Amino acid sequence: MERTFVMVKPDGVDKGLIGEVISRIENKNLKITAMKMMKISEQIAGEHYKEHVGKPFFPALMRFTTMGPVVAMVIEGPNVIEVMRKLAGATNPMEAAPGTIRKEYAMYVTYNIVHCSDCVDSANREISIFFNENEIVSYSKSLEKWNELLK
């Protein structure tokens, strides 16, 4: 099953939106297979966002990502990478579609509540930064059996 890495960023935790983000994931019947709250070190933040090194917003992104706790998660489901990106909305909240997390809860491009991996390679890379494989729980949900019936 496809996996993605999702993180409630420090602004989401500060605004009390951990539950809101998790609710949206649960409402879509996606499967949470790992979750932890942590304060990210400079080193982990730099590793996570290494594709953005050298961009003008990188120093601010580093300060933001390390300024308070985050909630890191592994989410599984069919096409989950695209599904989570759609739930989050466009990077810039001003351009995010109505009903998305970023449209409803964010004001600024830097402080946009949630991170979701953008492709399979990023998902695998990001998951391995935050989780050991033995922290990812394997279990089944009823929907998976129902999906089998559609095949």
Task: Give the helix/strand (H/E) hosting 3.
Answer: strand 3-8
Which range touches ligand IDP (CB under 6 A), out of 10-18, 34-42, 107-115, 140-148?
A: 107-115
Query: In angstroms, what is the minimal distance from the CB of 144 to ligand IDP?
Result: 28
C-alpha–C-alpha distance, residues 111 and 92, integer Å: 9
Regarding 48 and contact with ligand IDP (CB under 6 A), the answer is no
Q: Which of 68/144 has CB closer to ligand IDP?
A: 68
Regarding 115 and contact with ligand IDP (CB under 6 A), the answer is yes
Q: Other C-beta atoms within 10 Å of 145: how many?
A: 9
Per the annotation, the verdict on 52 as an active-site residue is no
> Which residue in 20, 32, 67, 91 binds ligand IDP (CB under 6 A)?
91
C-alpha–C-alpha distance, residues 47 and 49, integer Å: 6
C-alpha–C-alpha distance, residues 32 and 27, integer Å: 12
